[in-house]
């Protein structure tokens, strides 16, 4: 199913501000689209509008070209998986999965076949006659997924379905959901605040903030070509290092004259129209080089060393007191209190207009 949102807006009664404003989005058939953003950005509101649980204030919602604004949720051919699982505690796993088909008065043999097929896919056959209270959180989440699968919908909607699981189980379920999507080939819209889920699962990411879409694209684009400063700092762990300064037409100098950067030829061409203006430079923690050069170099004092196994994160301080984060291989020797020299990988710099926050291309 192809889902299109045209100029969608949402304003709750009694409020002046829009919760969502000017949402334009196309989700292609068979996409695994992740709506990502911080708490309160409007991502769950958008999902509930697509589901028909929240009304649409303005704009059009289209399913395969058909306007569905006023079509009831039960008639939209969708299935939704909630954060809280929403299982009936007095029913067995089998009855929970079969419930929606029973309500639609499907034949018993059809119900039985679909429940068994879903249980096999999710590897929960041995729990079919257990109660939700007798199985683990991960197994309950699979039951909630199974309940959605048996309906054979054209669209899956998932609202932070893994947030109640522990870290190891979340990692396992991420892989299982990707496998499930490949097997079913059903359009899926998945809401989360966890960038790891988005980056590892999505075929398309929609990043939101304050009710506005900030960027739409494939995961790789968000990390390597963020559209603005918000995207640059939200995606990536640790967050991108940012330095404010001025570009004079040839060289970028930070606001405190601690270092200067000579951009590469491609970036220089893009920066021409920003000569004499405020520019912000961003660089990922892993793109610093541990050596001193005549240009693009600086000195910093290591404050904290965080050992993460394959890498170490150096929380270092520049001469102006600003903290930067540098990632180095885990076997490199660094100690707190040491002074070190680094240089910038000039082919990995991100330039932003400080005033608008937008990326400079």
80-121 tens-digit pLDDT: 998 888 899 999 999 999 998 998 889 999 999 999 999 988
Tell which CATH architecture fits domain 238-353: Beta Barrel (2.40)
In this predicted structure, the answer to whether residue 288 has a pLDDT above a threshold of 80 is yes
Q: Pairing mode, if any, of strands 32-36 and 187-192?
A: parallel
Instruction: Label residues 296-308 b or e (16+ Cβ within 10 Å = b).
Output: bbbebebeebeee
The model's pLDDT over 34-69, given as tens digits with 9 standing for 90+, comes to 999 999 999 999 999 999 999 999 999 999 999 999
Span of 2-11, 141-150, 221-230 with lowest mean pLDDT: 141-150
pLDDT of residue 294: 65
What pLDDT digit, counting tens, does each position of 301-328 carry?
999 999 999 999 999 999 889 999 999 9
The arithmetic mean of pLDDT across residues 18-31, rounded, is 96
Percent of the chain with pLDDT over 90: 82
pLDDT computed for residue 293 by the predictor = 66
- On whether the CB atoms of residues 141 and 170 are closer than 8 A, the answer is no
Q: In the chain, what are the domain boundaries?
A: 3-233, 238-353
C-alpha span between 198 and 204 (Å, rounded): 9
User: What is the percent of the chain where pLDDT is above 70?
Assistant: 99
- The topology (CATH level 3) of 3-233 is Rossmann fold (3.40.50)
HSE value, Cβ hemisphere, 13 Å, CA-based, for 42:
23
Average pLDDT over residues 174-189: 93
Best CA proximity match to 37, nearest among 197, 264, 270, 242? 197
DSSP β-bridge partners for residue 242: 282
Say if CB 252 and CB 260 are below 8 A apart. yes
Total residues found in the chain within this entry: 361
Q: CB pairs under 8 A, 24+ apart, for 162-165?
A: 162/192, 162/194, 162/197, 163/83, 163/192, 163/194, 164/83, 164/84, 164/85, 164/137, 165/137, 165/138, 165/141
């Amino acid at each position: 199913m192809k889902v299109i949102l045209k100029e969608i807006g949402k304003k709750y009664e009694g409020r002046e501000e829009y919760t969502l404003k000017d949402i334009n989005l196309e989700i292609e058939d068979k996409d695994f689209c992740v709506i990502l953003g911080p708490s309160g950005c409007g991502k769950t509101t958008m999902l509930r509008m697509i589901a028909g649980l929240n009304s649409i204030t303005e704009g059009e919602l289209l399913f395969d070209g058909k306007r569905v604004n006023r079509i009831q949720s039960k008639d939209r051919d969708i299935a939704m998986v909630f954060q809280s699982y929403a299982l009936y505690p007095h029913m067995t796993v089998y009855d929970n999965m079969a419930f929606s088909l029973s309500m639609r008065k499907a034949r018993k043999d059809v119900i039985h076949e679909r429940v068994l097929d879903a249980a096999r896919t999710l590897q929960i056959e041995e729990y079919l006659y257990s109660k939700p209270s007798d199985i683990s959180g991960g197994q309950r989440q699979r039951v909630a997924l199974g309940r959605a699968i048996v309906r054979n919908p054209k669209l899956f909607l998932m609202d932070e379905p893994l947030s109640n699981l522990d870290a190891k189980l979340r990692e396992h379920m991420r892989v299982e959901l990707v496998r499930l999507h490949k097997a079913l080939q059903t359009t899926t819209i998945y809401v989360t605040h966890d960038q790891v889920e988005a980056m590892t699962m999505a075929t398309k990411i929609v990043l939101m903030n304050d009710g506005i879409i900030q960027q739409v694209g494939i995961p790789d684009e968000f990390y390597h070509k963020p559209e603005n400063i918000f995207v640059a700092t939200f995606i990536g762990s640790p967050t991108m290092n940012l330095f404010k300064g001025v570009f004079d037409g040839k060289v970028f100098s930070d606001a405190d004259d601690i270092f200067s950067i000579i951009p590469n030829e491609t970036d220089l061409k893009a920066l021409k129209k920003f000569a004499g203006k405020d520019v912000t430079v961003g660089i990922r923690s892993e793109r610093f080089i541990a050596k001193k050069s005549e240009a693009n170099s600086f000195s910093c004092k290591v404050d904290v060393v965080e050992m993460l196994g394959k890498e170490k994160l150096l929380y270092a301080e520049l001469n102006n007191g600003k903290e930067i984060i540098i990632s180095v291989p885990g076997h490199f020797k660094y100690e707190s209190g040491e002074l070190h020299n680094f240089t910038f990988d000039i082919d990995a710099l991100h330039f932003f207009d400080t005033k608008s926050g937008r990326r400079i291309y």
